[in-house]
Amino acid sequence: MQATVKTFDPETRAGSLFLDDGTEIPFGAAAFDAGPLLLLRSGQRVNIALTGGRVTYVTLSTFPVP
């Protein structure tokens, strides 16, 4: 599933995303740290994995989700 970064805090490594339907969903450091990224910027497109309504993985939209 794809989303757009709304916010990202490099210190806490957490933030929030907009799903394509406009729903805002938060993600924690564990979801960010599971992927290969070092930083995110607002407006960046990402691929995400959701489990039970929670974001469990965040990576660039050009990278595959495991």
Can you give the CATH number for the domain in which 23 is found? 2.40.50
Write out the residue range of the structural domain in which residue 45 sits. 2-60
Residue 65 placed within a domain: no
What is the pLDDT at residue 65? Answer: 86
pLDDT of residue 16: 98
Would you state the pLDDT for residue 31?
96
Mean pLDDT per 10-residue section of the chain, whose length is 66 residues: 96 96 96 92 96 94 86
Three-class secondary structure assignment of the chain: CEEEEEEEECCCCEEEEEECCCCEEEECHHHHHCCCCCCCCCCCEEEEEEECCEEEEEEECCCCCC
Domain assignment present for residue 52? The answer is yes
In a domain, 66, yes or no: no
pLDDT at 61: 87
User: Domain total for the chain?
Assistant: 1
Residue 10 within a domain: yes
- For the whole model, what pTM was predicted? 0.91
